[in-house]
Amino acid sequence: MNETNFGLAAIGAFKIAVLGLGHVGLPTAVGFSSLGWEVIGADEDAAKVDMIKAGKVPFFEPGLDDLLNRSLGCGRFQATSEVTEAIRAATVVFICVGTPQREDGAADLSQIEAIARTIGRNLNGYKLVVEKSTVPAITALWIQRTIQRYSALKANEAGEDGNGKGRPAGPEALVADFDVASNPEFLQEGQAIENFFEPCRIVIGADSERARAILRDLYRGLQRPMVVTDVTTAELIKHAANAFLSTKISFINMVADICDEVGADVTRVAEGLGLDPRISPAFLNAGIGFGGYCFPKDLRALAHLAEQQGVDCSLLRAVERINTRRVEIFLDKVRNSVWVVSGKKVGILGLAFKPNTDDIREAPSLKIIDALHREGAELRLHDPWAMPAAKALFPPEAGRITYCESPYEVARGAEALLLLTEWDEYRHLDLGRLRDLMQVPALIDGRNFFAPEEARRAGFSYAGMGRRGGTPYARELAASSHPRPAVPIWTGMEADLNG
């Protein structure tokens, strides 16, 4: 591939294509357009594209609506379902398609591979192809090989839509002029806009000076620290970052379990840890564990890659194991509170995998709902944004699954109230009113969201995750194999059943 010392100035007028308009692609596309670049966002899902064209964001992401409408309004952003047209019109092509996981835990790269073939078949001039999707190290090499192989297919072999289903190209593919780079995203759902415009760092992985120069140019408006590496190193930075953050969460969750046993408060332990700048307070919130589309699958994909290469990744497997057990530990607290689950009215506040998103993928709430439903509970659910997604998985069922308009509706007649997502709007709940609405005011806080003393003052029995609750009595109950006495634990006087 050619090496030049020039970036976009050498290329002249150009467009950016962003392929895949999901949680990463859409913020990236409108982000670049807000920085002044011409952007075409492409997605095969025509219904999604129609929504975006109409200025509607297909998922909940604070601030994205406004930004999208401004980008559409100034004409620097357009959306299309014609992926091949977007590729042909662009010089810089960002790949933002999904990388779900296969059954064996490895990343499923079929969407990446398909898009690489399509790019290859539509290589009508120099293109910089940039991986933004999270992929295992060395994926860029495969993208490069695939584009090269398919780039010299003649139009008639590529099929009318040039969608990459024809046969691979011959030696003439060697003349293809393109670079493949990695520019991993670190966007957090719910904070994607802020993360785009004020990233802690921008990672650029490129093996040619030309690709590096173009990517530097693209981000010049942001003035943020840049880490410039080779492609494979950049790919690994992303996976390692997610694995490290997951490790921090599992670590503090392990400490929370110890706190429950010895009667300490994990939130204070986290405070004491986090003030050490070498540790930092971020990602030390103990609770029901990490979910979402990224951490669980990225952790497994990195572990899979490490095992394939014969690297000892037992640390990552332990992180995963600890996380998987969070739900069971939480459910034990629920069982400890209500005793027999069957027939009990259980209220659930929060369904999304974290606040400020309507995303429920791999949300701990799903396993908790499923388990309690199987055990015969009568569930009353609320989430400010994620109820439509939850309804698709757990449709309303008379007397068994009820979606409620407000947290107070959830509390009505409930015998336990579970907090699963720490939405800001739950912060201002009137605890006294909640208590009055409940049959049994037991609060089981999966995110250590409420202040235990406040909850107790309001008349709740409170159980958090690692919050000084494991009184000897509660532990005795938890350890006992005998049926537990139906003590009036809801008076909030005896104990907080954290056991």
DSSP designation for 487: -
Short-list 494, 450, 23, 469, CA closest to 262: 469
- The window from 55-63, 180-188, 201-209, 464-472 that contacts ligand UGA (CB under 6 A) reads 180-188
**Cβ closer to ligand UGA: 293 or 403?**
293
Q: Which of 186, 219, 408, 473 binds ligand UGA (CB under 6 A)?
A: 186
Burial of 195 (0-12, 13-18, 19+ CB in 10 A): middle
189 binds ligand UGA, rule: CB under 6 A: yes
Q: Which of 77, 178, 290, 462 binds ligand UGA (CB under 6 A)?
A: 290
> By CB under 6 A, is residue 291 in contact with ligand UGA?
yes
Of 76, 117, 354, 367, the one binding ligand UGA by CB under 6 A: 354
In the complex with ligand UGA, the residue whose CB is nearer, 295 or 490, is: 295
* Dihedral sign for Cα atoms in the order 238, 239, 243, 244: negative
User: Of 126 and 423, which has the nearer Cβ to ligand UGA?
Assistant: 423
Selected range binding ligand UGA among 13-21, 93-101, 179-187, 393-401, rule: CB under 6 A = 179-187
Q: Which range in 121-129, 144-152, 184-192, 487-495 contacts ligand UGA by CB under 6 A?
A: 184-192
Q: In the numeric block, which tokens belong to residue 162? A: 């040039």
Q: Closer to ligand UGA at the Cβ: 120 or 184?
A: 184
The residue with tokens 């350890």 is 479
Task: Classify burial at 345, counting beta carbons within 10 Å of its beta carbon; exposed 0-12, middle 13-18, buried 19 or more.
Answer: buried
Interaction between residue 59 and ligand UGA (CB under 6 A): no
Q: What share of the chain is helix, strand, coil (3-state, %, to 5)?
A: 45, 15, 45
**Interface segment toward ligand UGA; rule CB under 6 A; list 135-143, 293-301, 367-375, 398-406:** 293-301
Among 181, 266, 294, 465, binds ligand UGA (CB under 6 A): 294
How are beta strands 127-131 and 178-182 bridged, if at all?
parallel
Q: Please name the amino acid found at residue 491.
A: T
- Structure tokens given for 206: 């490129």
Strand 39-42 to strand 77-80: parallel, antiparallel, or no bridges (unpaired)? Answer: parallel
The reply on whether position 295 binds ligand UGA by CB under 6 A is yes
Which amino acid, 177?
Answer: D
Is 294 one of the annotated active-site residues of the chain?
yes
Contact window for ligand UGA (CB under 6 A) among 36-44, 62-70, 113-121, 290-298: 290-298
Nearer to ligand UGA, 142 or 186 (CB): 186
Q: Which is nearer to ligand UGA, 215 or 420 (CB)?
A: 420
> Which positions ≥6 away from 319 have C-beta within 8 Å?
243, 246, 247, 250, 299
| Interacting residues with ligand UGA between 113 and 142 (CB under 6 A) | 134
| Phi, psi of 236, rounded to the nearest 5 degrees | -70, -30
Q: Angle formed by the axes of helices 472-479 and 314-338, to 10°? A: 100
Q: How many CB atoms lie within 10 A of CB 475?
A: 18
Smallest gap from Cβ 59 to ligand UGA, in A, equals 12
Contact call for residue 146 and ligand UGA (CB under 6 A): no
Strand runs labelled E in 240-362: 345-349
Residues annotated as catalytic (active site), given as ranges:
294
Return residues touching ligand UGA (CB under 6 A).
Answer: 134, 185-189, 242, 245, 249, 283-285, 287, 289-292, 294-295, 298, 353-354
